[in-house]
Amino acid sequence: MEPVMAGRITISNVQLDAPTSRAVADGIGERLRQALGAEPPVSDRLQKLLDEMRQREARDNSKENSH
């Protein structure tokens, strides 16, 4: 199986493009968060890194959508 960010992956003859794959992963993550309850508190440093990662992902996604 190829990495999700490579563009397309094939599982049992089903192809998912990168945005669809990301949406599926986000949906799974959201359901896991709901099933597990509230997230444990994180350090300020880790929260800053998570926020930076989300900003970069949003910027990268907006670049993909503009092409």
Amino acid letter at 52?
E
Q: Model confidence at 67, in pLDDT bands (50, 70, 90)?
A: low
Question: b/e for 27-64, b at 16 or more Cβ within 10 A?
Answer: eeeeeeeeeeeeeeeeeeeeeeeeeeeeeeeeeeeeee
d(CA 64, CA 25): 18
Amino acid letter at 6?
A
Q: Model confidence at 12, in pLDDT bands (50, 70, 90)?
A: confident
Among the ranges 6-10, 31-35, 60-64, which has the highest mean pLDDT value?
31-35
List, for residues 22-32, the tens digit of each pLDDT value: 899 999 988 98
Which two structure tokens, joined as six digits, stand for 10?
A: 């094939």
pTM: 0.42
